[in-house]
């Protein structure tokens, strides 16, 4: 197998990882959280969220890890690090920023304090805690979808410079 085939495999893994990761974020944001908010029993809401989000957290961690490794490989293969210095590749910056934020949340913030903090807040005032988490998820989903749209267009040659 030649080097270009490895690049194609890396790009395929990258796309698959992003589809799983951002698709999961979309499901949680647009389906799971609105359904949980409708539950009147706050403890049931917290328990269900914990159970379902914990299952997705593993998938999200694996997906962001695969996206990061494959993205790094593609940058190395193309010797494209200079693109971070070019404004026309703003989508690469956005894509990397979104990946970095999710990686930080999934691998650092959530295990160290975010998970425990959310549970404490949800036990105090479930409605307020879930309202906050919905807002955070909507913001991150919107940013992620913009990054996906821009990255696909940019990777296929769209240049937004004069």
The verdict on residue 161 lying in a domain is no
The percent of residues in the chain predicted with pLDDT above 90, rounded, is 90
Structural domain of 91: 3-155
116 inside domain: yes
Number of domains in the chain: 1
Which has more pLDDT, 21 or 88? 21
The first and second tokens of residue 115, run together, are 């998970």
Percent of the chain's residues with pLDDT above 70: 99
The runs of H, that is alpha helices, within the chain are 3-27, 33-37, 42-78, 90-104, 115-124, 126-155
Asked whether residue 162 is domain-assigned, the answer is: no
Tokens of 126: 């479930």
- In a domain, residue 109? The reply is yes
Over residues 53-109, the pLDDT tens digits come to 888 999 999 999 999 999 999 999 999 999 999 998 999 999 999 999 999 999 999
Q: Is residue 65 part of a domain?
A: yes
Please say if the pLDDT value at position 158 is more than 90. Answer: no
Q: Is residue 87 part of a domain?
A: yes
> Does the residue 160 lie in any domain?
no
């Amino acid at each position: 197998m030649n080097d270009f085939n490895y690049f194609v495999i890396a790009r395929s893994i990258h796309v698959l990882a992003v589809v799983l990761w951002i698709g999961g974020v979309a499901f949680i944001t647009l389906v799971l959280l609105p359904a949980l908010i409708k539950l009147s029993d706050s403890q049931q809401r917290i328990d269900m969220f914990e159970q379902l989000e914990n299952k997705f957290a593993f998938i999200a961690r694996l997906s962001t890890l695969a996206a990061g490794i494959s993205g790094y490989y593609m940058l190395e293969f193309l010797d494209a690090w200079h693109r971070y210095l070019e404004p026309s590749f703003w989508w690469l910056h956005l894509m990397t920023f979104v990946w970095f934020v999710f990686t930080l949340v999934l691998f650092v913030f959530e295990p160290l304090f975010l998970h425990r903090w959310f549970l404490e807040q949800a036990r105090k005032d479930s409605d307020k805690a879930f309202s906050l988490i919905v807002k955070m998820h909507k913001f991150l989903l919107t940013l992620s979808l913009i990054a996906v749209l821009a990255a696909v267009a940019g990777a296929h040659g769209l240049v937004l410079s004069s």
